[in-house]
Structure 1
Amino acid sequence: MATTPPVIQAKITSDPVKLPLAPLLVSVVVGVVVATAGVGGMICYLLRSGKVPIRVAGVAPVVPTAPLKTHMVALEPLLVNLADPSGSAFLRAGITLSIEDPAEDKGKETNAGEAKPSSKDADAALRDTALTVLGQQTSDQLLAANGKERLKAELKSALAEHNPTVKVADLFFTEFLVQR
């Protein structure tokens, strides 16, 4: 008689296989970092190489302008009694004005060392305006922290108002002495 082979029964367990969580999490984080660095590096390379143009909105191109042609007019030092209550304070100021050249002279070439002629009438009008503004100041106003800057602004506006034909571009004090 023939015998049947014995049946081998395998015992199947229903326990799920556990994967370690820490190495899986580390590998996902490393993969994301490497992918981000690769994409960022490629974008940076493309932008810097000029293969991808960048448009910047709102930036107007800088148009170079020719500097204003000016000449300097040095006024003789001015000695003025200040408007202090004591009546004994005075100011000695040397002023040099940077004056814009008239429009008709801008096209002409001048020698670099050649001084621009200034009329005596214009100098007298400039001196008169400066003396008027300086005489209204007090020593406390002039010796304040921003006293000279405030005085420059007042002088520029007064010169522009009283002498409209002379356009003062800037004003410099070459001498400034306040005596109380």
Structure 2
Amino acid sequence: MAIDGEAPKKSKKKLIIILGISLLLLAVLGAGGFFGYKWWMGKKAASAGGDNATEQKADAGHGEKKAEGGQGDKKDEKAGGAAGEGGELVSIPPFLVNLADPQGRRYLKLALDIEVKDKAAADSLNKNMPKVKDALLLLLSSKTYDDLASLENKILLKKEIVERLTLVVGEQKVSRVYITEIVIQ
């Protein structure tokens, strides 16, 4: 009987050890999967952030060209540098748009500053803000990730935005569009 009594204890110990090792292995694999996912998604987010940095450099370059063509007085350049050559800036707060992606998993976060010719044009743009947002949402939601990924495509997008806004507020009122924030994910 002593032999029969020891056999179940050993099999119970083996069962507990196997169960413990299985749980430990499951925890290690789960943690590895979690960190692998975070690392992989972090790489994608970093590439989207790189696009953002490139766009900000491009916008800075456009502003410098405007300042060089000014009156030559440094005080005047600083005073008028925020809105180019005497124009007004109208900020459009950031908004999210689902991109026309086949899987429907990509989105665009975009904030803009719109340079208009004068105060009356700025008032007209603010008055028609729902129409402006509608035009922008329709334009942006028709874009895919590939349509927005390169610098050339972002410059083309800025031109398309100017064209759409011109339809809303009228001819010769919108001078330029500045992308102040862009996240493509």
Q: TM-score, normalised by structure 2?
A: 0.49
Size of the aligned set, in residue pairs, is 103
AA in 2 matched with 1:134 = L
Write out aligned runs for 1:78-93 (5 A): 78-93=95-110
2:130 is aligned to 124
AA in 1 matched with 2:183 = L
| 1:93/1:176 contact within 8 Å kept | yes
1:140 is aligned to 146
- Report the secondary structure of 2:128's partner residue: helix
- Deviations along 1:15-43, one digit per CA (max 9) or x if unpaired, are xxxxxxxxxxxxxxxxxxxxxxxxxxxxx
Q: Distance in 2 between matches of 1:77 and 1:87?
A: 20
| 2:91/2:114 contact within 8 Å kept | yes
AA in 2 matched with 1:77 = P
Q: Distance in 2 between matches of 1:157 and 1:135?
A: 16
Report the CA distance shift for 1:76/1:117 in structure 2 as closer, same or farther (over 3 A).
Answer: same
- Deviations along 1:104-163, one digit per CA (max 9) or x if unpaired, are x6xxxxxxxxxx766753222222111111111101110024121010011111111233
Q: Distance in 1 between matches of 2:124 and 2:166?
A: 17
- Report the secondary structure of 1:170's partner residue: strand
- Report the secondary structure of 2:170's partner residue: coil
| 1:96/1:174 contact within 8 Å kept | yes
Write out aligned runs for 1:165-180 (5 A): 167-179=173-185
Question: 5+ residue gaps in structure 2?
Answer: 1-70, 72-83
Q: Distance in 2 between matches of 1:136 and 1:171?
A: 19
Report the CA distance shift for 1:169/1:119 in structure 2 as closer, same or farther (over 3 A).
Answer: closer
Residue 69 of structure 1 deviates from its aligned partner by 3.0
Write out aligned runs for 1:1-180 (5 A): 68-101=85-118, 120-164=126-170, 167-179=173-185
Q: Which has the higher helix share?
A: 2
Q: Distance in 2 between matches of 1:132 and 1:85?
A: 17
Question: 5+ residue gaps in structure 1?
Answer: 1-63, 106-115
AA in 1 matched with 2:166 = A
Q: TM-score, normalised by structure 1?
A: 0.50
| 2:124/2:169 contact within 8 Å kept | no
Q: Distance in 2 between matches of 1:159 and 1:133?
A: 11
Q: Which runs of 4+ in 1 moved over 4 A?
A: 116-120
Q: Distance in 1 between matches of 2:167 and 2:134?
A: 13
Residue 91 of structure 1 deviates from its aligned partner by 0.1
| 1:125/1:163 contact within 8 Å kept | no
Report the CA distance shift for 1:156/1:118 in structure 2 as closer, same or farther (over 3 A).
Answer: closer
Percent identity among equivalent residues? Answer: 28
Report the CA distance shift for 1:119/1:173 in structure 2 as closer, same or farther (over 3 A).
Answer: closer
